[in-house]
């Protein structure tokens, strides 16, 4: 008898395989970056979801930066930004395809560029870079991996759990009454957080809680044809998703994923 539901484990494994393809392509695009910031910053590309689902508007190519130096001065500056003492500067910028066909960081309305985003593309590789970016922005992943309004409505009607896609990096998020699970495709990591019911305290996430979440069933009909096709392509996988042997239950942690032959093993990131 055909099962009309997916487990969340099946959803996660299926969609992760698609994320890894795109992550590898983004990693390749990062190799085209010429860092002109005198090594003050590190840069990497990611996709930003289109404003309108499934329409002609394409996904955005975004450039993220992180500061390499982490001295006390910069940590203090960051804290002051968080609390609004000084203005917080954006840590990402949109890459624009200009009239000359090249992708470059977006300038402001006065034609100025934020000096922190001092990058260029490897000389002689500009055309190749543009082709790869255009292909990625035109891909089914870029257009349809984020959930449609119809899918989000279907998920809300599911009594067992909620599932949604968080912008701006297409990461997948799932929650039930005990925990929240977020898969961050850009880094290929899983983040777990305990859910606190009214009047209760947070409970450390045990393997039993985790496996219960992974075995939660969601109707196949809640998903678009694109997502069903991606998930169905991995249904033959018998891999389990398990904690590493040294895992100690905690209320919140991030985990690196070790892809072994029989399982996806989660190692707590310290």
Closest CA to 128 of 35, 21, 29: 29
Mean pLDDT of the chain: 86
pLDDT (tens digit, 9 = 90+) per residue, 133-192? Answer: 999 999 999 888 888 888 888 888 876 778 877 656 778 999 988 999 999 988 999 999
The whole-angstrom distance between residue 173's C-alpha and the CA centroid of its chain comes to 9
User: How many CB atoms are closer than 10 A to CB 42?
Assistant: 14
Please answer whether residues 253 and 268 qualify as being in contact, where contact means their C-beta atoms are separated by less than 8 angstroms.
yes
Please tell me the distance from the alpha carbon of residue 26 to that of residue 141, in angstroms, as a whole number: 13
Give the phi and the psi of residue 100 in degrees, each rounded to 5.
Answer: -80, 0
Per-residue pLDDT tens over the stretch 119-133? 999 999 999 999 999
Average pLDDT for residues 237-260, to the nearest whole number? Answer: 95
Of 260, 259, 250, the closest CA to residue 270 belongs to: 250
| Whole-structure pTM value | 0.84
Strands across the sheet containing 240-243: 162-166, 171-175, 179-184, 189-194, 252-259, 263-268, 240-243
Strand partners, 95: 61, 105
How far apart, in whole angstroms, are the C-alpha atoms of residue 208 and residue 229? 30
pLDDT of residue 88 exceeding 70: no
Q: What is the pLDDT of residue 153?
A: 86
Report how far residue 117's alpha carbon sits from residue 107's, in angstroms, rounded to the nearest whole number. 10
- DSSP reduced 3-state for 240: strand
pLDDT level of residue 34 (50, 70, 90 thresholds): very high
Taking only the tens place, the pLDDT of each residue in 201-230 is: 899 999 999 999 999 999 999 999 999 999
Task: Determine the straight-line distance between the first and last CA of the chain, rounded to whole angstroms.
Answer: 45
The residue that leads in pLDDT, 168 or 110, is 110
Distance of CA 246 to CAs 56, 132, 193, 194, 243, Å? 48, 41, 18, 19, 8
Contact call for residues 259 and 237 (beta carbons, < 8 A): no
Q: What pLDDT, on a 0 to 100 scale, did the predictor assign at position 74?
A: 56
Banded pLDDT at 56 (limits 50, 70, 90): low
CA angle 243, 248, 251 (to 5 degrees): 95
**Between 16 and 80, where is the model more confident?**
16
Long-range contacts, 14-18 (Cβ 8 Å, 24+): 14/230, 14/231, 14/232, 14/233, 14/234, 14/235, 15/145, 15/172, 15/183, 15/227, 15/230, 15/231, 16/183, 16/185, 16/188, 17/230, 17/233, 17/234, 18/141, 18/145, 18/230
- 3-state secondary structure (DSSP) of residue 26: helix
Report yes or no: 26 and 61 within 8 Å, Cβ to Cβ: no
């Amino acid at each position: 008898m055909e099962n009309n539901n997916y487990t969340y484990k099946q959803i996660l494994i299926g969609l992760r395989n698609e994320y890894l393809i795109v992550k590898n392509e983004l990693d390749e695009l990062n190799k085209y970056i010429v860092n002109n910031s005198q090594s003050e910053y590190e840069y990497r590309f990611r996709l930003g979801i289109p404003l309108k689902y499934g329409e002609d508007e394409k996904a955005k190519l975004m450039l993220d930066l992180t500061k390499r130096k982490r001295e006390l001065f910069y940590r203090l500056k960051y804290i002051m930004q968080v609390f609004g003492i000084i203005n917080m500067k954006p840590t990402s910028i949109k890459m624009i395809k200009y009239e000359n066909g090249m992708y470059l960081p977006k300038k402001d309305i006065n034609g100025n560029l934020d000096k922190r985003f001092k990058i260029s593309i490897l000389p002689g590789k500009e055309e190749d870079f543009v082709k790869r970016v255009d292909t990625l922005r035109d891909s089914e992943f870029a257009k349809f991996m984020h959930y449609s309004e119809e899918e989000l409505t279907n998920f809300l009607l599911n009594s067992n759990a909620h599932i949604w896609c968080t912008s701006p990096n297409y990461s997948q998020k799932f929650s039930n009454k005990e925990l929240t699970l977020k898969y961050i495709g850009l880094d290929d990591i899983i983040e777990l957080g305990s859910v606190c019911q009214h009047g209760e305290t947070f409970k450390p996430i045990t393997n039993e809680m985790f496996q219960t979440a992974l075995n939660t069933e969601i109707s196949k009909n809640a998903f678009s044809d694109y997502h069903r096709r991606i998930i169905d392509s991995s249904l033959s996988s018998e891999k389990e998703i398990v904690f590493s042997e040294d895992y100690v239950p905690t209320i919140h942690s991030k985990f690196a994923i070790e892809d072994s032959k029989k399982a996806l093993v989660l190692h707590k990131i310290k």
